[in-house]
Structure 1
Amino acid sequence: MNNASIPNRRIGELSVSAIGLGCMGMSLAYGPADRGESLATLNHALDQGVNFFDTSDMYGNGHNERLLAEVLATRRHEVVLATKFGIVTDPETSLPQGNNGSAQYARKAVDESLSRLGVDVIDLYYLHRVDPAVPIEESVGAMADMVEAGKVRHLGLSEASAESLRRASAIHPIAALQTEWSIFSRDIERDVLPTARELGVTVVPYSPLGRGLLTGSPVASTDLSETDFRRTLPRWQDGNLQTNLALVRRIQELAEQLSSTPAQIALAWLLAQGDDIVPIPGTKRRSYLDENIGALSLQLPNEVLAELAEMQPAGTRYPDMGWVKGDSAPTTVG
């Protein structure tokens, strides 16, 4: 699939490729970093017409933003750039320690991100997580000031409830809501998705491949490295994993029938949910990027869409950011 054949979707006034590129794994959570392959993947994405890059200040304590800066230095005009603030990390381990949505922290965070990225303006700036200790009106008010100052073009929230989305939208238009959504993670469909659509907010699903489980790859299921954080997640625990792998085997059967791959099936299912959906599968390898792009030309029959919608995985993801309230369970990041 070449540059001209990748369809675009809208986030506010931004025209973005219908599939974006989640960059977290290049710097955090999914095993050792590979700078050369990561840079090659970023450039290859642009060459293929994938123009929507997603990062955060907490991915590797700024490492990911600095990595993207190497590409932005010569190709800024080709990129719709999204980054985030609000999760505070340990400077040594990069692991989340809490969150901070205060206006003072927001003003500091955006300037630091602009500096690391080497850009004058961020196209889409997210509050990475709503801070329960700070009114959402304060956080979004500070972000609105960034738009007024020309530092940011559009605002987004990540993993926000329907109520938070409504309150935020009353302060300033919210262009995008980033949230985990996949065949294996469906909770947003009850309240959050209808609210986003009512308010005209584009939904940007992260982990659309179920953190790799939906690819069918042993590397993402049974052969995880010792440092891979997925080992801590309920869907990879004994019993749950076997149930989920049975579902993945069914997806593999469907993929064979449709001359595609399990990852393409999973992405095509999300893309079929509406033109206001822009998945951002994460990868640090060109081969997987090309596979993901292939989902854009896959049309799933109605009976396949229905079967996928009915799948029930075993084991939930941890309540996102639950540790902020004293839960000792690791957070899921995205």
Structure 2
Amino acid sequence: METTKETTAAGTHGPYTRALGRSGIEVSALGFGCWAIGGPWQGPDGKPLGWGMVDDEESVRAVHRALDLGVTFFDTADVYGTGHSERVLGRALGRRRADVVVATKWGNLFDEEGKVLTGFDDSPAYVRRALTASLARLGTDYVDLYQLHLSDADPERAALLRAACEDLVREGLIRAYAWSTDDPGRAAVFAAGPHCAAVQHRCNVLQDAPEMLALCEESDLASINRSPLAMGLLTGKHTPRSTHASGDIRSAPPAWLPGFATGGAADPQWLARVEAVRSVLTSRGRTLAQGALAWLWAHSPRTVPIPGFRSVTQAEENAGALEFGPLAEEELAEIERALRVSRHIDRRHGWTAG
């Protein structure tokens, strides 16, 4: 079933939209991820889980600019900045709340004042408590898409959470739900629910997800793509000598964040893969980041990438990708050829692909 609904032809002069799975909700083909605007926070081990210091007023201006440029989908989580991201987004949207689709997530426990992750709760009873708190921070009485944020939650317990989400839909507190996970088997558990609309998962030029995209096609779900720019590697701004501030997660990358060494230096092998596709992604006047977003749109009609942002400049560059639309078929094929050669070189040198 085709879910793409373009308001303008690709490559012409305006944004286009995509359906959020089978929910009947329509969103801009580009969403904005609100992890970074949550500011600094940390795990129980003291390691950073945010993207460093932010200017809240600049974040608000960036959200306003995104709205003006046609972005109607904003993705956050209660744990981002231990509640701060939701508060900033809610303030930025203000009276324009009804014009946008808001997604948030639950499952993590945190100390809002201490800015620290403290654990998780996968119980059905916690779903309602978490949602009530998110609604207050967002300043709204409903969430469009509510997402389980525990990527490796037990599938049997997840079935109970799916049922709890169905209750919330019936009460009008949420419109649809999803699971943020990279495991297609787990995503399929939520997909069995009538009001499941999407799965949020990692996908970008360097880290494809064919099995998850196949599930989205089979189950009529939207594919919400986190890390569409590979945590910044596909912006072209990183080098083997790059560093990040101590509050940036990339300065002490966890095991699930490949491509960076301790201190934030970009892995030369990953940078080589970026260089292999740079010329195609930046063709026809696109920036590298805009080309990476265009690849996702061309890769599947169900993809909705959600790049992060911390400034008006970043918001403008990301939203500018809508002006170009998806890559052409021949460009998509050229990217695949370039990556195939790059993977061959990796194997020849004994490197493992990410």
**In 1, Cα distance between the equivalents of 2:184 and 2:121?**
20
Q: Say whether 1:263 aligns with 2:272.
A: no
Q: How does 1:177-326 map to 2 (within 5 A)?
A: 177-186=199-208, 188-189=209-210, 191-218=211-238, 222-233=242-253, 234-237=258-261, 241-296=267-322, 297-309=324-336, 310=339, 312=343
**In 1, Cα distance between the equivalents of 2:17 and 2:109?**
33
User: 2:30 pairs with 19, 26, 45, which one?
Assistant: 19
**In 2, Cα distance between the equivalents of 1:235 and 1:192?**
22
- Could you tell me how far 1:14 is from its partner in structure 2? 0.9
Closer/same/farther in 2, CA of residues 95 and 185 from structure 1, 3 Å limit: farther
Q: Say whether 1:80 aligns with 2:107.
A: no
> Which runs of 5 or more structure 2 residues have no equivalent in the other structure?
1-7, 40-49
Corresponding letter in the other structure for 1:15: E
- Could you tell me how far 1:258 is from its partner in structure 2? 3.0
Once the two structures are superposed, residues 191-224 of structure 1 have per-residue CA deviations (whole angstroms, 9 ceiling, x without a partner) of 2221221010110001100000111013897132
- Could you tell me how far 1:97 is from its partner in structure 2? 4.1
**In 1, Cα distance between the equivalents of 2:186 and 2:316?**
36
**In 2, Cα distance between the equivalents of 1:257 and 1:275?**
21
Q: How does 1:75-154 map to 2 (within 5 A)?
A: 75-91=96-112, 94-130=115-151, 131-132=153-154, 135-154=157-176
Q: Say whether 1:37 aligns with 2:63.
A: no
Q: Aligned residues, how many?
A: 314
Identity, in percent, stands at 34
Q: Secondary structure of 1:178's match? A: strand
User: 1:163 pairs with 185, 188, 199, which one?
Assistant: 185
Report the counterpart of residue 6 of structure 1 in structure 2: 15
> Which runs of 5 or more structure 1 residues have no equivalent in the other structure?
318-334
- Could you tell me how far 1:96 is from its partner in structure 2? 3.9
- Could you tell me how far 1:253 is from its partner in structure 2? 3.1
Closer/same/farther in 2, CA of residues 250 and 165 from structure 1, 3 Å limit: closer
- Could you tell me how far 1:288 is from its partner in structure 2? 1.7
CA RMSD of aligned residues (A): 2.6
TM-score where L is the length of structure 1 = 0.85
Closer/same/farther in 2, CA of residues 284 and 299 from structure 1, 3 Å limit: same
Q: Larger deviation: 132-141 or 121-130?
A: 132-141
- Could you tell me how far 1:15 is from its partner in structure 2? 1.0
Q: Secondary structure of 1:61's match? A: helix
**In 2, Cα distance between the equivalents of 1:235 and 1:157?**
25
Once the two structures are superposed, residues 48-72 of structure 1 have per-residue CA deviations (whole angstroms, 9 ceiling, x without a partner) of 1101011110011111111112123
- Could you tell me how far 1:226 is from its partner in structure 2? 2.6
**In 1, Cα distance between the equivalents of 2:112 and 2:17?**
37
Corresponding letter in the other structure for 1:243: Q
Closer/same/farther in 2, CA of residues 144 and 160 from structure 1, 3 Å limit: farther
Q: Secondary structure of 1:139's match? A: helix
Closer/same/farther in 2, CA of residues 68 and 270 from structure 1, 3 Å limit: same
Closer/same/farther in 2, CA of residues 298 and 167 from structure 1, 3 Å limit: closer
Closer/same/farther in 2, CA of residues 262 and 34 from structure 1, 3 Å limit: same
Once the two structures are superposed, residues 293-323 of structure 1 have per-residue CA deviations (whole angstroms, 9 ceiling, x without a partner) of 2223145343432343335486677xxxxxx
**In 2, Cα distance between the equivalents of 1:160 and 1:300?**
25
CA contact under 8 A between 2:242 and 2:266: conserved in structure 1? no
Report the counterpart of residue 324 of structure 1 in structure 2: none
Report the counterpart of residue 332 of structure 1 in structure 2: none
Closer/same/farther in 2, CA of residues 8 and 256 from structure 1, 3 Å limit: closer
Q: How does 1:51-62 map to 2 (within 5 A)?
A: 51-62=72-83
Corresponding letter in the other structure for 2:29: A
